[in-house]
Amino acid sequence: MSENPTAPQPSEGQRRRDRGEPMFPGGPVADPAGSHHERRIRSFRPRRGRVTPGQGDALRRLWPAWGLDIDGLRPLDLGELFGDPELPVVLEIGFGMGEATAQMAGADPGTGILAADVHTPGQGNLLALAERNELSNIRVANGDAIILLREMLAPDSLAGLRVYFPDPWPKKRHHKRRLIQPEFVALAATRLRPGALLHCATDWEPYAEQMLEVLTASPDFENTQSDGGYAPRPDFRPLTKFEGQGLDKGHRVHDLIFRRKG
């Protein structure tokens, strides 16, 4: 039987997503890890979202030079990626729309930021911000950061790891999806060089308590706070609009800064 010619037809973007092709020519693909990782527990919700013309233009033009897909199929040479083998590189997992990432990159041009997320509009926005502000020390990664850490980054290759406001997965049955778990922390330790900082921030108090418990129990990290508690927000982490709105509502934001031993 032939298809109903009056039935709604999928858009070209939807057809690309269904085929796992880039949404934009040369841009990020829908699921770069492919089927060999389909059974993994995701600590994030894949989000494509509505891409503005400006974000789409940035993705089309800048992704081939400043973007990469996390496919787990090849090792990543950070020196080659940033064009400087001596540049220390910090991994940021989850950057939203990228405003804070761009601020941190501009304030510290001597550090490369590898920013990983799955939010297409945010990827395009961060690329546009990097171009507008002439930030050559930003690279954008699309996909699952756990695959990036486990299968694409070399041991002791990172100068730092930032996890700001990750999905809190508030329902108890979803707590296993939270990113900061003992297994993740142990993996992160193998990719961070000795002395590197693991910096987390959250406005979800039960998650903050779990983070503190997990990080304190890790044999690979030590708390930078002598009292073993939370850290004041450091100057290098910008106060985002989202965070400011939460503070206005009485939310408490907790920073946790732990140092890799060794």
Q: Which residues are catalytic?
A: 167
Answer yes or no: is 92 a known binding residue: yes
Answer yes or no: is 242 a known binding residue: yes
In contact, 51 and 128? CB cutoff 8 Å: no
Answer yes or no: is 261 a known binding residue: no
DSSP sequence for 6-59: TSPPPPHHHHHHHHT-BSSTTS-BS-TT-GGGTTSPPSS--B--PPPHHHHHHH
Answer yes or no: is 220 a known binding residue: no
How many C-beta neighbours within 10 Å does residue 202 have?
25
Answer yes or no: is 240 a known binding residue: yes
Answer yes or no: is 171 a known binding residue: yes
Q: Which amino acid is at 103?
A: Q
How many C-beta neighbours within 10 Å does residue 109 have?
12
Answer yes or no: is 216 a known binding residue: no
Answer yes or no: is 167 a known binding residue: yes
Answer yes or no: is 241 a known binding residue: yes
Q: Which residues are annotated as a binding site?
A: 92, 117, 144, 167, 171, 203, 240-243
Q: Which residues are annotated as a binding site for substrate?
A: 171, 203, 240-243
Q: Which residues are annotated as a binding site for S-adenosyl-L-methionine?
A: 92, 117, 144, 167
